[in-house]
Amino acid sequence: MAYIVGQGCIGCKHTTCVEVCPVDAFREGDNFLVIDPEECIDCDLCVDECPEDAIFAEDDVPADQIQFIEINARLAEIWPEIDAPKQPLLDGSTEIVE
Ligand code: SF4
Ligand code: F3S
């Protein structure tokens, strides 16, 4: 299994989640983050850090966000690691920027 960043992160990118990840599994895109499923150890620490409630265990991803399982896996292979918080984006965007 792995944890998944979903729709709530798009346009927000608070980045408070990255600080707690013990294996630096987060990857950064222009307007949201993803989690590398090859790195995530299912520790559950990041879930409570996200003010948007955007992070789910893979088994608990809402049906209308199920595509984010594939999106996280695919983009984690090409996006760079982020291991320290930064200024939130909060640009109001709602569409994925790849
Ligand atoms: Fe990192 Fe744990 Fe969140 Fe996985 S569940 S991304 S290991 S903080
Ligand atoms: Fe995104 Fe939430 Fe992390 S908005 S950057 S998943 S704290």
**Other C-beta atoms lying within 10 Å of the C-beta of residue 81:** 13
pTM above 0.95, yes or no: yes
Which of 24, 38, 39, 40 has the most ligand 1 atoms within 8 A of CB, as the residue to mutate?
40
Is any ligand 2 atom within 6 A of the Cβ of residue 4? no
pLDDT tens digits, residue range 30-60? 999 999 999 999 999 999 999 999 999 999 9
Please state, in angstroms and as integers, the Cα–Cα distance from residue 75 to each residue in 31, 35, 48, 51, 52, following that order. 12, 9, 23, 22, 20
With the most atoms of ligand 1 within 8 angstroms of its CB, the residue from 9, 42, 69 to mutate is: 42
- Which candidate, 60, 59, 68, 49, places its Cα nearest to that of 7? 68
Q: Measure 52 CA to ligand 1 centroid, in angstroms.
A: 16
Query: What pLDDT was estimated at residue 33?
Result: 98
Percent of the chain with pLDDT over 90: 99
63-96 tens-digit pLDDT: 999 999 999 999 999 999 999 999 999 999 999 9
